[in-house]
Chains A and B, each alone.
Chain A
Amino acid sequence: MEFLNLVLVAPIVDMIEYPSFFIEVVFGGLMSGVMYSLVALGFVLIFKASGVFNFSQGVFALFAALTLVGLMTGTVPFTLNKSLPELPAWVAIILTFIVMIGLAIAVERIVLRPLVNQDHIIMFMSTIGLAFVLEGLGDTIWGSEVKALDVGIPTGNFLIGEIQIQIFDLWAAGIAAFLVVVLAVFFQYTRTGRALRAVADDHQAALSVGIPLKNIWIIVWSVAGLVALVAGIMWGSKSGVQFSLSLIALKALPVLILGGFTSVPGAIVGGLIIGVGEKVAEVYWGPLVDGAIENWFAYVLALVFLLFRPQGLFGDKIIERV
């Protein structure tokens, strides 16, 4: 009885007694959720368009952030020598995007093209390889120390009632929302978007109707590169550009399981649920087991989801003909 009370009743009572604290916790959760969503979005894009689970998406974000910092601080690649002119943020962002497109072209040419029509697991393994290569490359080119990143997103905070709100968080949410709307429209209503979805469904058939796989893959990996760049900027500005950034990719996994691997809105909603879920769980249920459940709570949630709804909240229906 005592135990049930602790688990089921006390936390709820807490929430109701101090509503403003609860809202603050939820808000904090939403904001870290947005960050997860941004990373998950990159996974979804590539998965939708090629059926490949791109393990290297997190490293993409890291690589983008590293390149951006490198350009902004005028670092000469491979030397750590800061003798180049420092570029303003917007120029650096555009240049970094171009680098990401170049990366997409290289990935298509070197990794994907020779593997057309191979099993998904083979593609998956190749992206794991890609992750390590890219991480090493980032290290070699830009150096491994933690770097600060400031592209001029406003910071500071204000109060609504008793609730403290970070301006940076609002910006992050706004940018994420904008990206999602653009991507959803792109996938659903444009010729290229339709072709991307067709390729995801059936490579061979897409080839047979004249959709050039090569271009499609370059497009989708570039878009994923752009999303990675945005995610990299957000994470980098918040907690510094460091190599642990590539590990946020792992947090995106439960987000994807929750939201569905093929759904753009799913990545967003999944991210928010995971973000809020882990913060609330940490604050209200964490003390029962001496805390630190934030790190694994997401995975438990994902496991539960796999049991009841393996395609996720918004994922494509698994079509089975009988």
Chain B
Amino acid sequence: MNDKVNLLSVNNIEVIYNHVILVLKGVSLEVPEGGIVALLGANGAGKTTTLKSISNLLNSERGEVTKGSIHYESQEIQALTPSDLVKRGVIQVMEGRHCFEHLTVEENLMTGAYTRGADRKGISEDLEMVYGYFPRLKERFKSLAGYISGGEQQMVAIGRALMARPKLMLLDEPSMGLAPQLVEEIFEIVALLNREKQVSILLAEQNASIALRYAKTGYILENGRIVMEGEAKALAENDDVKEFYLGISHGDQKSFKDVKHYRRKKRWLS
């Protein structure tokens, strides 16, 4: 344990879908108070499953945490429902945005405040706060969320989560399907939220280069295992990470023949 108290610590969890498919094989990670932590990995590595086991959205997908423990604010949280977790400040922004298509932008945002009950004043203040971070949403507050652009939908999804006054936001693939410039914009806002609202962030991303730029620490997930962890800077400098996740190879261009040889050097897989 480090001296700084961790907001979230996931301890060696195993997740099984449908009672047979082992997806996570012992994942441990920590999110410090006020941190931005990147969880990197390719498709199917288990990033989404990790996030869902924290927010407890696994149940509805027939997934189950069978081993290990998850502590949030030093309390075991596996038995809590997603709704309880949102009340305590853990909220997930799902991959693929998942806006409520037939609700307007503003109604979408308001659903995020569901767990806060009848705190009318606080909620309308927060609505203004969200519009402050995402001025574009203010212009479109009456449009149906199904009709706005992908970038705006991502903003709605993040803004909606913000309405719950979260302490820990689990961001799943915010860059998915967005133009590079928009991705940059979204990450800027996320970093700003982290600074100004003290929202800690666990960020699952395929886009390693941008995630490592904004995160302080990072974990790399492969086949349901954490294979590497460390400071984001150090990870970005690591040769293997460069090769496999950032697409930068040093030295000469390799032929396919060599790639196979190189793969063997991925020591962490063994």
Interface size on A, residues (CB 8 A): 25
B98–A191 touching, CB < 8 Å: no
Set of chain B residues within 8 Å of A137, measured between Cβ atoms: none
Distance in angstroms from A171 CB to nearest chain B CB is 34
A52 CB, min distance to chain B CBs, angstroms: 15
A198 and B57 form a contact (CB under 8 A): no
Q: Are B146 and A204 in contact (CB under 8 A)?
A: no
Beyond A116-B60, A195-B111, A319-B146, is A209–B160 a contact (Cβ under 8 Å)? yes
The number of chain B residues touching the other chain, given as a range, is 35 or more
Q: Is B29 an interface residue (CB 8 A)?
A: no
Whether B61 and A319, one on each chain, are in contact in the complex, defined by CB atoms closer than 8 angstroms, is: no
Proximity bits, B99-136, A CB within 8 Å = 1, else 0: 11111000110111011011000000000000000000
Nearest CB in chain A: distance from B79 CB, A: 15
- Give Cα distance in the complex from A202 to B101, angstroms: 8
CB distance from B89 to the nearest CB of A (A): 10
Pick the contact of A209 from B60, B112, B147 — CB < 8 Å? B112
Q: Which residue in A195, A200, A202, A209 is a CB contact (below 8 Å) of B164? A: A209
* Chain B residues near A200 (CB-CB < 8 A): 102
Asked whether A319 and B57 contact (CB < 8 A) given A210-B83, A210-B85, the answer is: no
A250 within 8 A of B: no
Contact with A along B45-68 (1 / 0, CB 8 A): 000000000010100110000000
List B contacts of A212 (CB < 8 A). Answer: 81, 83
The residue on B at minimum CB distance from A316 is B102
Mark A193-211 against chain B: 1 for CB-CB distance below 8 A, else 0. Answer: 0110110111111111111
- Which chain A residues border B60 with CB–CB below 8 Å? 116-117, 203-204, 207
- Residue pairs across A and B with CB atoms within 8 Å: the count is 90
Cβ–Cβ contact B82 & A207, under 8 A? yes
Cβ-based interface call for B7 (8 A)? no
Say yes or no: A204 contacts B103, CB within 8 Å.
no
Chain A hits for B103, CB < 8 A = 194, 197-198, 201
Q: Are A211 and B146 in contact (CB under 8 A)?
A: no
A206 lies within 8 A of B111 (CB):
yes
**In the assembly, what is the distance between CA of A321 and CA of B161, in Å?**
24
A–B complex contacts, Cβ < 8 Å, 11 sampled: A191-B117, A205-B94, A209-B91, A209-B112, A209-B115, A210-B83, A210-B87, A210-B114, A210-B164, A212-B83, A319-B101
